[in-house]
Structure 1
């Protein structure tokens, strides 16, 4: 069966007409019928067609499934013609919605997503390919979703094979979410190290959940957040891999065509939709509100990442956190810190975090990570600490930073305010260890104000005195001028803090 060439006159979207960037297309469907007695218990139907370069973000292939199906399998492929340098070639994502519906925000209908990481998937009552949600293959109209990520000038020729296997369901899948505590790392009110942006084989990572847990423990982390792209399936299995010395929180990297925003601290099984662009402001607000109602936080991820669809284009004022440091230090991170600092100077403070975004074994978990002050190693208190900006960012567990301010008989820590008069001297102090070959710099809204070199021992205490009439806030950066072992970019970040605010609140 062929769909032929598709054009924008096929565009549609549940709920009405919208801008073309958010539109979707409907492909001709396939229908299956239950086999006659004695006939083969497996049927396959094939769809082929061509996507032209001027196509919407999402296409839906309807699949009518009869009763008595125990497993559905989908395999897809597309051509990759040669394109000139600087021209994007073909890339296409894939996922699945069940008969409960595929309308925007339909959490009941979502059955999985693998993006472009896999060329096939299976779903049954007992099991599902990582990225997909196991459960009965109910009768009704399913939809394979295809997402032409980039399309070559020649177009994209694609093929989708859908196979149904008939028979009785096996034993039902039983979710096993992660425990809500990690007693061996519980220290009451303390500073806790965590990596809030990580991937496994349940999206496009190459670590199994067990491998990620092992690497996180080796990195000295107290907690991690699982943020597989556009799917909630890994949230249902973390209990199989949990240990008593690592708290595992649920999340999802909401991966849109206008940037990525990890939703962190979600109840197990929560799915957040991603089928909109930054121009669809009401949809973005709808799903960030969903995250907030669920008790989670919204992160603006790698704002200046140099890949199509990766740069954060949404409204910053809706985000709870900005991921200013993502993986080994690069110029992208420098741009993110500069932009975040500009927001801060303009009076809009969104707490900074740093994450490894580690996908593969050659990418180091906890490079970097965020050290947050929380009342305990519990999700609600960790999220509260992150949202309040009581945190600093570290290259590794070997680096430690203490940063505070005092004056007029008062004191304040990271993310807090020292409320003293404009003429009161305030001394800020940073104590660094595990950071040889670095410099410590205090910055305020005017830029760098005071810098000292850390000796070969890697430890130093640096102080500087200012006044609220001159400095509205102060933050600290620890940098390695030579770049160092983790990056070739000079003046690489080793640690940085969120600000301490000076003076009475305006």
Structure 2
């Protein structure tokens, strides 16, 4: 009997979908069903303690395929119905702002919940054992709409970090040409058509778009949907990435929160944040668009800054922060509000594109790449332009976004690999200022070498690619010297 029990548990483990970072279940429900329960419904109760904001459920049972056993499932909270998905799902999650389709998002009240099993078919000779694994507050499902990376290759991934839909102020033309809230699906479809590997839909202060993103992610299995939210305050806007829980964004000088308090909550939940269009003017046309928070803000709590918004390069604020010792990763965002905009229009989706070197196409992978500064911005929204930077000296090597210590008088060798930028020019900037003569890019796949001599102080060295008209084509993150 012990051997049979072990084999049974092994079969259950193998029957569950493979999921990355699957935490140990908080509750396990097990039982057996016979023909006596055919065409009946029964509930299996379990207790949800206080402090739970998300539940995730995995369901499995034996004799499923070979004996045509079919169980339908659902769930009730202490007040009643929260969803039913028949036999088409073995996994579902319910959170405050999102849930697996078939289930109702919302708060998770403590108390007695009931897992529903409806026996649709079981043969007379069959006994089917089932197992329900219930997990509370899954970090993976709080941060992502997919349980597995969409791709496991380390490479450069292309995305757009800032866009809006009908869940905030995104509008587009309807079938009859009316000005209507733009559906989220249209944003995702346009992004996919433009060859993006990931997008972060960042509707203002809302959780509502997450439910649609969770529904769409299985369909868009080549493009990662990253939870995003534009924290919109009177004194500046910033995007939070990788969290789905509500964060109190109500920053105010009187009876309000501070930016630091908001950032503390975002980081505690495992997310990162990036300041949006900090050099934009603030006024009646764009309320709070510039960065003017009251009091002192700990800028080191941010991971990035939007250096390119739509087609506008705004790198002055970025350089100012680096000069103060704060290493913020430069990213870009289209700030798209109309998914139907053609690519030659300002604010078109994927213009600019943020290109991130990541170990895999997952929320954790992309956010880690941003944290590391392994990022450049493609202002043309191309599918193939690349810029990679490596630095070396006697003390070691560094990649774009990394730091390297060099003494005064030491030569820093810089190797830049550029793709699809023939006839453009490569320019080096030190501390935000152009240094040396531009280097011509003559081929579609070219490596260029240059150098810079350190003086023992802190500096940041970065590169941009410019076209013949003087427009920025690619903008890279720095190699930090003596930071």
Please give the secondary structure, in 2, of the residue aligned with 1:198. coil
* Deviation for aligned residue 1:288: 1.4
- Alpha-carbon distance change, 373 to 459 in structure 1, aligned in 2, over 3 angstroms: closer
Give the RMSD, CA atoms, in angstroms.
3.2
1:364 equivalenced with 2:348 (yes/no): yes
Aligned to 1:179: 145
Taking the aligned partners of 1:180 and 1:407, their CA distance within structure 2 comes to: 41
Please give the secondary structure, in 2, of the residue aligned with 1:237. helix
Per-residue displacement from partner, 1:240-289 (whole Å, max 9, x unpaired)? 3221101101121111121211111113xx22333323687853222211
User: Is the CA contact 2:162–2:336 (under 8 Å) kept in the aligned structure 1?
Assistant: yes
The TM-score with structure 1 as length reference comes to 0.58
User: Is the CA contact 2:250–2:256 (under 8 Å) kept in the aligned structure 1?
Assistant: no
Taking the aligned partners of 1:351 and 1:455, their CA distance within structure 2 comes to: 25
Aligned to 1:194: 159
- Alpha-carbon distance change, 233 to 430 in structure 1, aligned in 2, over 3 angstroms: same
User: Is the CA contact 1:177–1:235 (under 8 Å) kept in the aligned structure 2?
Assistant: no
Aligned to 1:213: 188
Taking the aligned partners of 1:398 and 1:317, their CA distance within structure 2 comes to: 32
- Alpha-carbon distance change, 177 to 498 in structure 1, aligned in 2, over 3 angstroms: closer
Aligned to 1:461: 447
Please give the secondary structure, in 2, of the residue aligned with 1:266. coil
Taking the aligned partners of 1:379 and 1:340, their CA distance within structure 2 comes to: 24
Taking the aligned partners of 1:264 and 1:369, their CA distance within structure 2 comes to: 16
Aligned to 1:263: 240
Please give the secondary structure, in 2, of the residue aligned with 1:197. coil
Q: Counterparts of 1:331-370 in structure 2 under 5 Å?
A: 333=313, 336-360=314-338, 361-362=340-341, 363-370=347-354
Per-residue displacement from partner, 1:113-132 (whole Å, max 9, x unpaired)? xxxxxxxxxxxxx99xxxxx
- Alpha-carbon distance change, 196 to 278 in structure 1, aligned in 2, over 3 angstroms: farther
Taking the aligned partners of 1:355 and 1:323, their CA distance within structure 2 comes to: 7
* Deviation for aligned residue 1:479: 2.1
* Deviation for aligned residue 1:494: 1.3
* Deviation for aligned residue 1:435: 2.5
Please give the secondary structure, in 1, of the residue aligned with 2:337. coil
Taking the aligned partners of 2:432 and 2:267, their CA distance within structure 1 comes to: 34
1:449 equivalenced with 2:435 (yes/no): yes
Taking the aligned partners of 1:449 and 1:500, their CA distance within structure 2 comes to: 14
Please give the secondary structure, in 1, of the residue aligned with 2:308. strand
Please give the secondary structure, in 1, of the residue aligned with 2:414. strand
* Deviation for aligned residue 1:459: 4.9
* Deviation for aligned residue 1:415: 1.1
The TM-score with structure 2 as length reference comes to 0.60
Could you tell me which runs of 5 or more consecutive residues in structure 2 were left unpaired when the two chains were aligned. 1-94, 108-140, 172-181, 342-346
Per-residue displacement from partner, 1:461-506 (whole Å, max 9, x unpaired)? 3322122326733111112352xxxxxxxx3321111111235x5x
User: Is the CA contact 1:177–1:237 (under 8 Å) kept in the aligned structure 2?
Assistant: no
* Deviation for aligned residue 1:134: 8.1
Taking the aligned partners of 2:432 and 2:222, their CA distance within structure 1 comes to: 42
Aligned to 1:433: 419
Aligned to 1:379: 363
Taking the aligned partners of 2:236 and 2:255, their CA distance within structure 1 comes to: 13
User: Is the CA contact 2:300–2:327 (under 8 Å) kept in the aligned structure 1?
Assistant: no
* Deviation for aligned residue 1:180: 1.9
User: Is the CA contact 2:224–2:361 (under 8 Å) kept in the aligned structure 1?
Assistant: yes
- Alpha-carbon distance change, 372 to 412 in structure 1, aligned in 2, over 3 angstroms: same
Please give the secondary structure, in 1, of the residue aligned with 2:418. strand
Per-residue displacement from partner, 1:398-427 (whole Å, max 9, x unpaired)? 321111112227321111123444333221
- Alpha-carbon distance change, 282 to 177 in structure 1, aligned in 2, over 3 angstroms: closer
Per-residue displacement from partner, 1:305-324 (whole Å, max 9, x unpaired)? 23332112233444221101
- Alpha-carbon distance change, 435 to 178 in structure 1, aligned in 2, over 3 angstroms: same
User: Is the CA contact 1:405–1:413 (under 8 Å) kept in the aligned structure 2?
Assistant: yes
Aligned to 2:37: none
User: Is the CA contact 2:143–2:242 (under 8 Å) kept in the aligned structure 1?
Assistant: no
- Alpha-carbon distance change, 342 to 177 in structure 1, aligned in 2, over 3 angstroms: closer
- Out of 493, 496, 499, the position equivalent to 2:472 is 493
Taking the aligned partners of 2:438 and 2:447, their CA distance within structure 1 comes to: 9
- Alpha-carbon distance change, 236 to 425 in structure 1, aligned in 2, over 3 angstroms: same
Aligned to 2:409: 423
1:235 equivalenced with 2:226 (yes/no): no
Per-residue displacement from partner, 1:278-303 (whole Å, max 9, x unpaired)? 68785322221111111111111011
Aligned to 1:252: 229
Could you tell me which runs of 5 or more consecutive residues in structure 1 were left unpaired when the two chains were aligned. 1-106, 112-125, 128-132, 136-174, 483-490
- Alpha-carbon distance change, 287 to 449 in structure 1, aligned in 2, over 3 angstroms: same
Taking the aligned partners of 2:204 and 2:425, their CA distance within structure 1 comes to: 37
- Alpha-carbon distance change, 421 to 284 in structure 1, aligned in 2, over 3 angstroms: closer
* Deviation for aligned residue 1:458: 5.1
Please give the secondary structure, in 1, of the residue aligned with 2:373. coil
Aligned to 2:290: 311
- Alpha-carbon distance change, 281 to 186 in structure 1, aligned in 2, over 3 angstroms: same
Aligned length: 325
Please give the secondary structure, in 1, of the residue aligned with 2:190. helix
Please give the secondary structure, in 2, of the residue aligned with 1:461. strand
Aligned to 1:323: 306
